[in-house]
Chains A and B, each alone.
Chain A
Amino acid sequence: MSKTNSDQLHGTLDMLVLKVLEDGPLHGYAIALRLERVSKQVLQVEEGSLYPALYRMESRGWLSSEWSATDTGRRARFYRLTRRGRAQLAAERESWLRLTLAVQAVMRS
C-alpha cells in the first residue's frame, strides 16, 4: 500500500470515528459495530487496528476516555469527543464536502 493510500485511509477512519462519536460516548466495540454498519471497507483488514487509531486521536486531544460500565453491566473503556475533536470533525466535514462537490461538478460536466 502506498503512503498516500495509507494516509487517506487513516484520515477517513479518523473522520468516521469522530462522526460516530458525535452523538455521545461509546466503547471500542460499539464504535466498531457502528463503523461496520456504515462501511465494511474501513475495518476490512482487522478490527483491532481501530485501537491504535483511537489512542492516536486521544493523544492529539480529539478524544477523551474513561472506564465505565456498559448497559449489560460490563466494564469497558468509553471514548468521548472533546471540544477539539468537534472542531476537527467540522474541519474534516467541510473539506470532505468541498472535495465531493468538486468531484460531483466534474462528474456532471
Chain B
Amino acid sequence: MIRHALARLRALVRRDAIAGEIREELQIHVAMRAEDLERQGLSPVDARRQAARRFGNLSVIQDRGYDVRGGGIMETIVQDLRYSLRLFAAQRAFSVVAVLTLAIGVGLSTALFSVIHAAVIRPLPYAAPEQLVRVDVQVPQTGGDIFGLAPSLVDVRTWREDQRVFRHVAVDRGEYNLIVDSGEAERLTVHRVSEGFFDVFDVRPFRGRAFTAEDTRPGTPLVVLLGHSYWRARFGADETMLGRQIRVAGESATIVGILPAGFHPLVSVWQPYPREIVPETMRGSGAPVVARLQPGLSREQAEKNLSQIVGAFDDAQGKKAGTTVRLESLYDEAVAGTGPMVGTLSGAVAAILLIACVNVAGLLLARGATRQRELAIRASIGAGRTRLIRQLLTESVVLAAAGGLAGVLLAWVALDALVAIVPLSLPANVSVSLNIQVLVFAAVVAFSTSLIFGLVPALRLSGVTVSTALSGADRRSGAALPRRSGQWLIAAEVALGVVLLAGAGLMIRSFARLVSVNLGYEPESFLTLQVAPLDPSPAVAAQYYPALVATIRQLPDVEVAGASDQLPIGGRRRAGFVKLADQPAIRIDEREVLPGFFEAIGLPLKQGRFLTDADLAAGKSVVVINEMTARKVFGTVSPVGRLLPVEDRQPEVVGVVGDFLQDGARSPVRANVYFPYAGMDSTERRPLVVFVRPRGAAPGLPVRLRDVAQGIGTRVLVDRIWSGEDFVSESVTVPRRRMVLLGLLAGVGLLLTVVGIFSMTAYAVARRTREIGVRIAFGADKPDVVRAMVHDAIWPMALGLVAGAGGAFFATRVIASLLFQTTPHDPVALAAALGTLAVSAIVAAWIPARRAALVDPVVALRTD
C-alpha cells in the first residue's frame, strides 16, 4: 500500500519519463511486428501500416497505460490545486474578500472558542478534575432550617485520617491583599491554605517543599511558598531565594518553596492556615474545605460515607444528631452562572460564522456564474462531472485552508485583547491559549464551512449543459439560477445581521440604564486614598489615620475629608446582629468611620447629626445608622437618642443618614451601622480608606495626597488613589464588557453583511451589463436602471428584516438574564437594529448599482 503510493508520487515527479518509456515500449512492439510481417513478404510500407492497425490507437493505449502507471488521483489533485491557485491569483479582489471574510469568521470563532474552552470546558486544569469537590456540612437548626456551614478543623482532620472517602482534603482560607516587604513594600495577593492543599490539586512544588501540619500550628515561625510568576518577576527566578526571609504583613517569613508555573498565576505568596488559635471544633468558622475523592467513588456514595463518619463523631462528642455532609463539584462551581453569556457568545459567533459562509458562498456562486463558459468548455473536451465537482471543491478547500490559516493567525493576534474584554469570570488558574483542541476546532470550522459553501455551487455549476452555456443563452437571461440563490443569501445575511444588532442594542440600552442609576451618594465628587502603615499593629493604625485625615483637612483645595474601613464599592463587609428583646436578630453591616466620611461622599443627613471629632475624642459610645436600619429596627419611631443593641454593646443613635447601594447599581440596599473609628472592639483591624472631597477641580490633589500620606511619620504603602467614579466604573466592568463585546461582534456582522450585499450586487451588475446596455439603448432613464438594480436587492432585504425581527424576538430571550431593567423585546433596540441594517444594506446595494448607469450601451452590446 505504502510502496504503491510512493510509486505514484514518484510518477508525479517523473511524469514525462514514464510517458516516454511507455511510448518507447509500444513503438518497439509495433516495430517488431512490422519486421515479422516484412519477413513474411510484405513491403516495408505495408508491413508498418498493418502492424500499426493490428496494434490499435497508440495514443489512446499510451494514455490508458499512463492512467495505470502514472500519477493517478494524486496527479489530478495536484493539477486541481495548481489550477485553483492560478485562478485565485488571477482574481485578486475575489480572493482577498473571500479569504478575509473567512478569516474573520474562523478567527473570531476560534478566539472565542478558546475563551469558552478555558471558562467552561476545562476550567480546572488539573488531573482528574471530576474528583475535586467542595465540602459543606448541613446542620439542622431548631425551627427546621438547615444551615450549610464550612466543616470544622477537627472534621477535616478526621476525614484526612479516615482515608476512605478523600484521597486528600484541605482548608482553603482564600486570598488576602497583604503588604509584602522583600526590600520594597508592595501589596500582593496572599493565599492562605492548610497542609495538603496542593495535594488536592495534584500539584507539587517546583522547588522546595509544601506546607506540613507543623507549619500550620499557632506560634510556629511563618514559612511561605512563592507563586511562580511572582518569583520570576520579582526575583528573576533566583533559586537561592529558598531559605531567604521576606516580611508578610509585618511578620518575618522564610521562603520554603516555589510553586510550578501556571498554578494560580495571580497569587504571589502562599501562607499556611490557620497558624492562629481558632475554634477547632466549631463548624461554620468560615474556612471553606476542598478535597479530592478517592478514585471511583461517586459523589453520592462519598456524601453518605462522610455523613456516617460525622454522625459517629458527633455521637461520641454528645452533639446533636442529624448533621450531614454535602459535596459540590468544583467544576459545577467554576461554570456556575456562565450559561447565558456562553450561550450568547456562541450564538453571536455562530451568526457571524454563518454570515461569513453565506458571503463566501455568494462570492463563489457569483463568480461561478461567470465561469459557466469555462466549465462547459472543460466538459466538452472530456472532463467528467465528478472531475468538475472535484475541481470546484478543491478550490473551496484551498480557500478554506487560506481562510483558516489567516483566521488562526487573527485569533492568535486578537486573543489577548479578547480575553481582556470577555465578560466571563475566567478562573484565575486558567490561562487562555490556542491549544490543540482549539486548533482542531478551527480546522473543523474552516473545512466544514468550505464543504457547505463549496458543495452547493459545485453541484449546481457542474450540472450546466454544454450547449446552453456555450451558446451564451444564460448570459442574456442574466443567469436566473445564481441570481435567485444570491437573493436568498442576501435575505439570510440581513436576518442574521438584525439579530446580532438587536442583541448589541439591548446591551447598550441596559448599560445606559445601569450607569444612570442613582447610587444614593455622589461618586463624581470625591477621591479615595488607600494607604496602610507597614507596621500592622492596631496601635500604629489608630494613631496614623486620624493624624492623616487631620492633615488632609488642612490642605487648601480640600473641602472635607473622612475615612471608612470599607471601599465605596466592593470590599469585605463585616456582619453584625441587632438583637431586640423578643424579636429575631436583624442582620446589619458594621462600618467604622472617621468624621467627615458622610460629607465627603455626599451621603445626605436625614435626622439628628453626623459623627464628630468630639465623639471620637471623648470615646463616646455613639453610632449613626442608615434609613434601612432605622426602618428595620425602630419602625416608624424616631431612632435619634435611642440605644441600639448591637452584639453586646448599647451605643446611642445620634443620627440617620440616607441609604446607598453598597455594591453598585444591581446590589440591594443594606442595613448599615456606622461606628466612630476604634469605637468598636475587633480582633481584625483593617486599614482605613480615606475619603476626600476636593474644593473645585483641584488638579494636583492626588499627588499631594500621596506626599501627605507618606509624610505623617510611620512608613506606609500607598496602594491607589481612585475617584468615586473609578469605583463605579469598575463595578460595571462586566456589563460594559458585554456591551463592548456584543457591539464588536454586531459591528463585524454588519460589516460582513454589507460586504456580502455589495459584492453580490456588484456581480449581478457585471453579469447583466448586456441587458442594461439594451435598456439604456432603448432610452431607459439612468436613475431608473440604478433603481432596477437596487430593487432586485430590496425584496430579499425586506424579507431578511422581517425574518431578523422574528429571530431577534426569540434569540434575545437568551440574554434576558444579562439585562438590567430592560426587556429583551425592547422596541427601541429592535427598531435601531432594523434601521441601521436597512440603511447600510441599501447603501451597500446602491454603490455598485450606480455603476450600472455608467454602462456604455455600445460597449455592452459588443461584449460576447
Q: Which stretch from A2-10, A18-26, A73-81 is at the chain B interface?
A: A73-81
Residue in contact with A51 in the complex, picked from B32, B57, B61, CB distance below 8 Å: B61
Give the chain A neighbours of B32 by CB distance below 8 A: 29, 74, 76
Indicate if A94 sits at the interface (CB-CB under 8 A). no
Give the chain B neighbours of A27 by CB distance below 8 A: 28
Answer whether A59 and B29 are a contact pair too, CB < 8 Å, given A45-B56, A47-B54, A49-B56: no
A75 close to B28 (CB less than 8 A): yes
Give the chain B neighbours of A32 by CB distance below 8 A: 29
Q: Which stretch from B64-72, B308-316, B664-672, B742-750 is at the chain A interface?
A: B64-72
Within 8 A of A (CB), among B1-48: 4, 7, 21-22, 25-26, 28-29, 32-33
Residue of B nearest to A76 (CB): B28
Give the chain A neighbours of B722 by CB distance below 8 A: none
| Residue total for A at the interface (Cβ-Cβ under 8 A) | 19
A51 close to B26 (CB less than 8 A): yes
Docked pose: A51 CA to B30 CA in angstroms: 12
Indicate if B428 sits at the interface (CB-CB under 8 A). no
B56 close to A47 (CB less than 8 A): yes
Residue-wise interface mask of A (46-77) relative to B, using a CB-CB cutoff of 8 A (1 in contact, 0 not): 11110110011011000000000000001111
Indicate if B414 sits at the interface (CB-CB under 8 A). no
B199 to chain A, nearest CB (A): 60
A59 close to B68 (CB less than 8 A): yes
Answer whether A47 and B28 are a contact pair too, CB < 8 Å, given A55-B65, A56-B68: no
The range of chain B's interface size is 20 to 34
Docked pose: A49 CA to B68 CA in angstroms: 12
**Chain A contact residues: helix, strand, loop or mixed:** helix
A51 close to B28 (CB less than 8 A): no
Indicate if B55 sits at the interface (CB-CB under 8 A). yes
B65 close to A29 (CB less than 8 A): no
Indicate if B847 sits at the interface (CB-CB under 8 A). no
Residue-wise interface mask of B (550-592) relative to A, using a CB-CB cutoff of 8 A (1 in contact, 0 not): 0000000000000000000000000000000000000000000
**Chain B contact residues: helix, strand, loop or mixed:** helix
Indicate if B278 sits at the interface (CB-CB under 8 A). no
A35 to chain B, nearest CB (A): 13
Docked pose: A77 CA to B25 CA in angstroms: 7
Indicate if B473 sits at the interface (CB-CB under 8 A). no
B68 close to A47 (CB less than 8 A): no
Docked pose: A77 CA to B7 CA in angstroms: 18
Indicate if B58 sits at the interface (CB-CB under 8 A). yes
B357 to chain A, nearest CB (A): 41
Residue of B nearest to A32 (CB): B29
Residue of A nearest to B68 (CB): A55
B344 to chain A, nearest CB (A): 57
Residue of B nearest to A51 (CB): B65
A59 close to B69 (CB less than 8 A): yes
Residue in contact with B61 in the complex, picked from A52, A56, A76, CB distance below 8 Å: A52
Residue of A nearest to B22 (CB): A51
Give the chain A neighbours of B22 by CB distance below 8 A: 51, 55
Residue of A nearest to B7 (CB): A59
Give the chain B neighbours of A58 by CB distance below 8 A: 69
A47 close to B7 (CB less than 8 A): no
Answer whether A29 and B28 are a contact pair too, CB < 8 Å, given A52-B61, A59-B7: yes
Within 8 A of A (CB), among B800-842: none
Residue in contact with A48 in the complex, picked from B21, B28, B55, CB distance below 8 Å: B55
A52 close to B55 (CB less than 8 A): no
Give the chain B neighbours of A48 by CB distance below 8 A: 26, 29, 55-58, 61
A47 close to B25 (CB less than 8 A): no
Docked pose: A47 CA to B67 CA in angstroms: 18
B29 close to A47 (CB less than 8 A): yes
A29 close to B29 (CB less than 8 A): yes
Docked pose: A13 CA to B22 CA in angstroms: 20
Residue in contact with A28 in the complex, picked from B21, B25, B68, CB distance below 8 Å: B25
Give the chain B neighbours of A51 by CB distance below 8 A: 22, 25-26, 29, 61, 65
Give the chain B neighbours of A52 by CB distance below 8 A: 61, 64-65, 67-68
Residue of A nearest to B25 (CB): A77
B249 to chain A, nearest CB (A): 79
Give the chain A neighbours of B21 by CB distance below 8 A: 77
Give the chain A neighbours of B25 by CB distance below 8 A: 28, 51, 76-77
Give the chain B neighbours of A47 by CB distance below 8 A: 29, 33, 54-56
Docked pose: A46 CA to B50 CA in angstroms: 12
Answer whether A28 and B29 are a contact pair too, CB < 8 Å, given A59-B4, A59-B68: yes
Residue of B nearest to A28 (CB): B29
Give the chain B neighbours of A77 by CB distance below 8 A: 21, 25, 28
Answer whether A74 and B28 are a contact pair too, CB < 8 Å, given A47-B33, A52-B64: yes
Most buried by B among A27, A47, A59, A77: A47
Give the chain A neighbours of B55 by CB distance below 8 A: 46-48
B33 close to A29 (CB less than 8 A): yes
B28 close to A55 (CB less than 8 A): no
Docked pose: A62 CA to B22 CA in angstroms: 19
Docked pose: A59 CA to B558 CA in angstroms: 95
Most buried by B among A29, A59, A76: A29
Give the chain B neighbours of A59 by CB distance below 8 A: 4, 7, 68-69
B593 to chain A, nearest CB (A): 92
Q: Hey, which bits of chain B sit against chain A, CB under 8 A? A: 4, 7, 21-22, 25-26, 28-29, 32-33, 54-58, 61, 64-65, 67-69
Sorted from nearest, which 4 A-B pairs have the closest CB atoms? A46-B56, A48-B61, A48-B56, A55-B68
The contact sample of 21 A-B pairs, CB cut-off 8 A, is A28-B29, A29-B29, A29-B32, A32-B29, A45-B56, A46-B55, A47-B55, A47-B56, A48-B29, A48-B55, A49-B64, A51-B25, A51-B26, A51-B61, A51-B65, A52-B61, A52-B68, A55-B68, A58-B69, A76-B32, A77-B21
19 additional contacts, CB 8 Å, given A52-B61, A52-B65? A28-B25, A29-B28, A29-B32, A46-B56, A46-B61, A47-B54, A47-B56, A48-B29, A48-B55, A48-B61, A49-B61, A51-B22, A51-B25, A51-B65, A55-B22, A55-B68, A55-B69, A59-B4, A75-B28
